[in-house]
A = this chain, B = another copy of it.
Amino acid sequence: MTPEVGPSAGAGVAYGIDIGGTKVLGVALGASDRILFTARRPTPAAASNTTDSIGRSVAQAVADVVAQLDAQLDRPTDSAAAPQLPPVIGVGAPGMVDRAGRLRFSPNLPQAHGLNWHELLSERLPERHFVIENDANFATLAEHRLGAAQGYSHVLMVTLGTGIGGGAIVDGRLSVGGHGYAGEIGHMVVDPAGPPCPCGRRGCWERYASGGGLGLLAREAAMAGRLPAVTALAGGDPESVRGEDVTAAAMAGDADAKQVIEQVGWWVGFGLANLACVLDPSCIILGGGLIAAADLWLSATRAAYAELVEGGSLREPVPIVPAAFGEQAGAVGAALAARHGGLWS
């Protein structure tokens, strides 16, 4: 059996890295798909930077995470032999990432349009190769191969964070679309007269059914006087109410706050019903930060889905379940793709 650390370690080990909004997270996956160790760095702030400097500083953070993983693989032993470092590294990035590893568009990162992750990373780590993909696509891969969607050939994964990310398994394979942009489901417009979205349109699904959407719906309710306790908690100004305030109040039993969160749950189910019309998944996986408060909204989501999906009870029921990998899903999926040398499709 090959040792997992020390000299001649590294055989079968794969690295995956997820560039998130707040942190760059790396995992080393052992040959048996166990997470051997992790590494992380804060994501350099993007505000007021140029595309080039954002790119360079994020790429440096990725290189630092890789160095941390290498160091953990190279634990001191009696032997002088260097460990076998994984030659291919999977890297998940937010937004519309094309087949050449370029960020074409990311609503929340307009300064970074045009970034070539592949070039930037190859400059810093010239001896490594990279498989670069949208982060939610990698998360979907992880849940399908090792997590909550194992055994299903048609899977929809939705990550509910500040915005919404998504990915789909179609006929057993990760579907990234013609250019790599499939699964940008947060920007389906569900109400053309809805609130503006950083993507430039109005009424995108993620304006309602995400952490950001929770804040938006909460401020709307607060301004209408429907969230007195939460508003008091936030200092009395309805404009200052944040999603976290509502979650905290709801967990403490505040009925008004619970209602707002259930409204978000309804919007999640509404969008899932729309997506079921398009993709007909056999299994729906929900991940992202909002899933931590699932007790407060998941039953509202399931009820809305059952009521709204075309055909209703005439079609087969579909499980709607939380993701297994939490915040590590993107990095784990990246490691799986790295081991495979690319995506399966």
Contact A279-B182, Cβ < 8 Å, known A189-B274, A274-B189: yes
Query: Is the pair A315, B154 in contact by a Cβ cutoff of 8 Å?
Result: no
A57 within 8 A of B: no
Confirm or deny: A117 has a beta carbon within 8 angstroms of a beta carbon on chain B.
Answer: no
Q: Report copies per complex.
A: 2
The main secondary structure of chain A at its interface with chain B is loop
A314 CB contact (under 8 Å) in B105, B177, B281: B105
Do A189 and B308 have beta carbons less than 8 Å apart? yes
Among B104, B282, B308, the residue within 8 A (CB) of A179 is: B282
With a cutoff of 8 Å between Cβ atoms, the chain B residues found around residue A261 in the complex are: none
Is A78 at the interface (CB under 8 A from chain B)?
no
Q: Which residues of chain B have C-beta atoms less than 8 A from A190's C-beta? A: 189-192
Q: Is A123 interfacial (CB-CB < 8 Å)?
A: no
Proximity bits, A75-118, B CB within 8 Å = 1, else 0? 00000000000000000000010000000110100000100000
B171 with A96: CB separation less than 8 A: no
Chain B residue at smallest Cβ distance from A183: B278
Q: Which of A135-189 contact B (CB under 8 A)?
A: 152-154, 166, 168, 170-171, 173, 175-189
Chain B residues near A277 (CB-CB < 8 A): 181, 184-188
CB–CB B152/A178 < 8 A: yes
The chain B residue with its CB closest to the CB of A155 is B178
Interface contact A308-B201, CB-CB below 8 Å:
yes
Q: A171-B345, A308-B201 known; A104 and B315 CB under 8 Å?
A: yes
How far is the CB of A315 from the nearest CB of chain B, in Å? 6
Q: Check: A280 CB closer than 8 A to any chain B CB.
A: yes
Residues of B with C-beta under 8 A to A189: 190, 270, 273-274, 308
| A169, closest chain B residue (CB) | B178
Asked whether A178 lies within 8 Å of B314 as measured between CB atoms, the reply is: no
Is A316 within 8 A of B179, CB to CB?
Answer: yes
CB distance from A294 to the nearest CB of B (A): 23
Asked whether A191 and B192 contact (CB < 8 A) given A278-B183, A280-B179, the answer is yes
Partner of A170, one of B170, B200, B316: B170
Rounded to whole Å, the gap between the CB of A280 and the closest CB of chain B is 2
Q: Quick check: is A126 within 8 A (CB to CB) of the other chain?
A: no
Our pick among B180, B200, B311, B312 for the contact of A181 (Cβ within 8 Å) is: B311
Q: Which 5 A-B pairs have the closest CB atoms?
A: A177-B280, A178-B282, A105-B311, A154-B178, A182-B280
A residues with CB within 8 A of B: 96, 104-105, 107, 113, 152-154, 166, 168, 170-171, 173, 175-193, 199-201, 270, 273-283, 308, 310-312, 314-316, 318, 345
